[in-house]
Structure 1
Amino acid sequence: MPNIDPLTLTGTGVAGVQIPQIGLGTWPHTGQESTDMVAMAIDNGYRHIDTAQKYGNEDAVGKAVRKASVPRDELFVTTKLTNEFFGDAATVRAGIEYSLRETGLDYLDLMLIHWPNPWLKNYVQTCASLAELVDTGLIRAWGVSNFTPEHLQAVAVAGLDIPINQIQVDPLAGQPDYLAANAQHGIIVSAYSPTGRDLTLSDFPALREAAERHGKTEHQIVLRWHVQQGRIAVPRSANAKRQRENLDVFDFELSDAEITAINALDDGSRARLDADEYGH
């Protein structure tokens, strides 16, 4: 099995939970296709699987985890809460129990708020409820997804320390101000779509040349760019070779100059969807 370095979560209600830095994204796969992809990933060395209520594949992911070739306590399962379950602790607990029924698991390692849905005016309360519910043992940790600096600040004002925020980060949409805001609050960033959407990475000399120097692929260079800067990355792949490559990013190190060159690819792009306007 490859050596997948973990990061340690801290924050309100979370004490020392370790999360593998490379996870498997599962959207939009569902049904047997999803189960097969997750089972293959676990056999290839993945220990972190990322799903969501909205994806409609918690059942398929759970089936693969339950029948996995490794014990449950060696796997880290992340899922995400929809706004149907926002609010007080009883409402949020119902959302957690929904995901437990769907996955068929006894506990979840990480429950994220999928989108802040600010027009509902209760994402701060939902954060507090999730933090409180860690003590039940139904979840080991909580966090958020798609929270902007303004949303993070509102939660901080309420006296809550968010452990992790999953946002879109890739070389073209580096969002350095968002990364800085998370760092200011001591929040670990998890990058979804970490290598970008519909990008031919070999088109970028900074990536192509780094790949040639290190004997890696451009995708591996980008994943190393994430993990070397302390981020989680959750690429999606149903290809066995690509899955193994995605995990093979811990045996080399990018130079400061290489990281600077990749950072310079940022073209000012934001996330594909605006968290102040989109949600579920």
Structure 2
Amino acid sequence: MIPFGKTIRLFLVDGTANGLTTAELSNWTGIGVKVPRIKVKDYGSRFEFQKPGVYILIGKGDNNEDAAYIGEAEVIFERLVHHIANKDFWNEVIFFGSKDKYLNKASVRYLENRLHDLATKAGRFKLDQNIPTRSELSEAEQAELEEFLANIKVLTATLGHKIFELLEETVETASLKEQTFYCQNIAGAKGLGSPSTEGFILFPGSLLMIKEQGSLTPSFKAERKKMLLEGTLIIQGEFYFLTKNYVLSSSSRAASLTLARSASGPLEWKTEVGVPLKAFE
């Protein structure tokens, strides 16, 4: 499918990014709202808060990892007040409703289930909750809500949180989408990855050097230790084995993490036939 442009309107209600932000798309009856936890009660009387919708509580987990809770409500404000009293981890909420009477209890329960599914597959945030029950809807109703869901996904990312974005969707250009790059050395390390809009994705199955050289900075050593403790890296023979996709801010960071030394990503990462990443930039 050929991608098409979207016009998004963001409105800072207080004239500052620290207050309420609304997000709308052209020719869409839905509306997105982002607001800090400490200001939820200040805006409770606004119409967006008094309607049915789905919401994402966003904060940090016990290990300082990104964490979220996805829910639905017939009256958004009432549910958020409940969560203020009963859930401590979150500091911001994004929620979505309709400017007309399009959404009802069945439709928001369907959206809640689908958003949970998307977030689980993306694997970017820790979700500490049961799988929401999906409403039984007609094929036509589901098709309409899938379009609504696609707009929620776009606006959530626009509002600063890529909780629903698969890493595969961030690969930079069409010419790189089917291209895997390799970072290797004669000792047997073999990283696999690709550039993305977020920097560089290191793919699962990559083999990283365990022995660290003197040029590896303390920050890299700490990151590798953290990955090992979290299970992102496991020891496999003489190497660390990467268990899942891992995003780094640059190809050089990915190369250094793989080779356990200072490294230039544009030169170290190469296609299967030996063309360096630098040739694509």
TM-score (norm 1): 0.28
Considering fraction of residues, name the structure with more strand.
2
Using structure 2 for the length normalisation, give the TM-score.
0.28
Larger relative contact order (Cα-Cα within 8 Å, sequence gap ≥ 6): 1
Higher helix share: 1
